[in-house]
Every structure is written in C-alpha cells, then in structure tokens.
Amino acid sequence: MVDESGGHVGAVAEGIQPEYVDAGGSPRRRTISSPYVHRLQRRHFLLFDILPFLGTAAALALLAVRPIGGTEIALLLAMWLVTIMGITVGYHRLFTHRSFTATPALGKFLTVCGSMAGQGGLVSWVALHRRHHECSDRDGDPHSPNLAGGGLTGRLRGLAHSHLLWMRRHEYPNVVHYAPDLIADRGLTAVARRYHTWVLLGLALPTLVGGLVSLSWYGALTGLLWGGLVRMFVLEHIIWSINSFLHSFGTRPFHSRENSRNGGVFALLTFGESWHNNHHAFPESPSFGLRWYRLDPGIWCIRLFSALGLASDLKTPSPRRIALKSVRHAPASPAAVVSTGNGAS
C-alpha cells in the first residue's frame, strides 16, 4: 500500500519499513527528543490529562449540591459518542491504518471530532500510533506495559507507565518519517493544525447547550463539567486502558508478535477498540471484531458512511488470511500470508 506522497504507509504501520533518507542521503531520525518538545508534552499533560481529572472531581463534588440531571447525562453521552468516533474511526482506522477511504469532507469532520477529545493533534497522534505498531512491546514502543521488568513491581510500574505516565515525557516520533501522507494533504493539515481551537469547541458546545437549556449559569457550568471535562476524563481512560490492560490481560485468538489481547466485554464502551489482538493481527482491517456478531460500533459507523457514499474501499481481510493467523492453526509463513493478496497496513 503506497500513500499519495509516495511513502509506504502500510509498511510503516506494520513495522516493515523502507529505508527513508533525507535530501542529503542520510537516514532520517525516527524520533526527536529535546527540552522544548518535553516542555510541550508536560504542558499538554497538565492541560488535557490532569485538568479533566480535576474537572471530574469538581463535578462529583457538586452532586452534593444538586443531583445530576437529564441534560448533563445527555451532553456526556452525546459528546462521548462524537469524540470517540473521531478517535477510533477517524484518527485510528482511517488516518493511521488507512483501512478505508473517506471523502475529504468526512476526513475533515472526523479530524475535528477526534481533536475535540483532547488526546493530541491528528498528525502527532498518527505518528505515535504508527511508531507503536512498529515497535510494539519492544524498545521504542512509547507506551508498552511490558518493558519495566518482571515481578509484581515491574508489572505495576509498566501498567502505570503505559496507562498515563508516559505522556509526561517521551521521544517524539518524526512526523516526516511516520506521517508523510498526512503532511502532504494540505487541506487536511489546515484543519488539523487548529487542534486547540477544536478542543475549545468541544468544551464550548456543552457549556452553551447546558446554559441555554437551563437558562442559568449553573447549567452552563454543569454542561462544561459533564459534557466537557468529565467526558474527556472518561474517554481518555477508555483509550489508555487499551494501551495498558489490553497489552497485559485478555484473550489471544490470533498470532501476533506483541502481547496484544482482546477484551470483548468492553467492546461497546471502547467503540470496538477492545478487540485489540484482532487489530494487531490485522491492522489494515476497518472491522476490529472481524465477525458480524462481535460488537464493534466503529465498523458500524464506517458502513453507515459507506452507505451514504462518504466512505469506500474497506480493506477487510479475507477469511483465508484470518484462518491462517488463528492460534488454532500453525503460525503462517510470511509467504503464505502475502499470497492472500492482503498486505498489512
């Protein structure tokens, strides 16, 4: 799979990379580490990871003053739905793995929805996730829980790192290396670079709706808290749990080179992301459940977009390729997998 800029996005995402070189012929640095980058990372951590926690604490404290109402619950659910769709359908399945093709309008819409989640700008998020797939559970993986040593102490340290602490400071993946296709799309980057604007929009909308419905400043405040900060807190921990717990606990129906696991009981809550071993085995698939009876709201959205003419070219792996990677069969040779005609991306 070759992206529009001529880079091998599929190879990057799966970790089988061509040798990228800069204009002078020297290999590009795959990661960047500097005091300036680390300051930006700490600022983002405080604003978009710690602040939602404080907002959630404030929302819970206010329950002693007035119970939560239908408006706050509706805002929480509606904003959660919009932003988790932006992350899993947009940031993850569309832009990171190119598992389907979207119209420019849909791509920009999903970029805005994903940005409102406050989990990082599109290009950075994609670069980090492609780096994760390249180095998953090995040196270079930005958020593996399995590299902190053995025993209970090592396991707990690894879980804490992969769930939250890695975001304070980490090597930043070179976006020219990991996301050349996104950088080449000027229309998309024009939307993506307004990341902070979209985060503020995601906070302003529930504030405005809460105030208008209740015709009070208190309603605006609870709208901000429940539809904004609590929603960000809940969604963040849903996504982070996939990084941490689903690389430690769960089922492994497919052969994969890392320690990814499935947690099907959380499929609805995670919008299908908890079929994590399935995803690592078939990163190019827009369906993480792989079977119709496995709950996966992400693929439901993609199929709806396809029916509306907004999405196409869904790269679903063939039944034969799925069978070859099943743990019920002997591990497939690289030649056997390639012969199916479905390369990983």
- Within a domain: residue 126? yes
Domain count within the chain = 1
* CB distance 169 to 175 below 8 Å: no
Percent of the chain whose pLDDT exceeds 70: 87
Residue 275 lies in a domain: no
Report how far residue 153's alpha carbon sits from residue 150's, in angstroms, rounded to the nearest whole number. Answer: 7
Domain with 34, as residue range(s), is 9-16+29-250
> In the structure encoding, which two tokens stand for residue 94, read together?
């569309």
Which pLDDT tens digit goes with each residue over 139-188? 999 999 999 988 999 999 999 999 999 999 999 999 999 999 999 999 99
For the stretch 66-105, pLDDT in tens is: 999 999 999 999 999 999 999 999 999 999 999 999 999 9
Whether residue 216 is contained in a domain is answered as yes
pLDDT of residue 329: 65
The model's pTM: 0.86
pLDDT for 54 equals 98
Q: What is the pLDDT of residues 8-53, one digit of tens each?
A: 333 333 333 433 445 555 566 899 989 999 999 999 999 999 999 9
DSSP state of 5: T
The answer to whether position 208 is within a domain reads yes
DSSP character for 32? Answer: E
How do residues 182-217 score in pLDDT, each as one tens digit? Answer: 999 999 999 999 999 999 999 999 999 999 999 999
Q: What is the pLDDT, as a whole number, of residue 233?
A: 98
Domain-embedded: residue 109: yes
282, part of any domain: no
In sequence order, the β-bridge partners of residue 312 are 101
Backbone angles phi, psi at 25, to 5 degrees: 90, 0
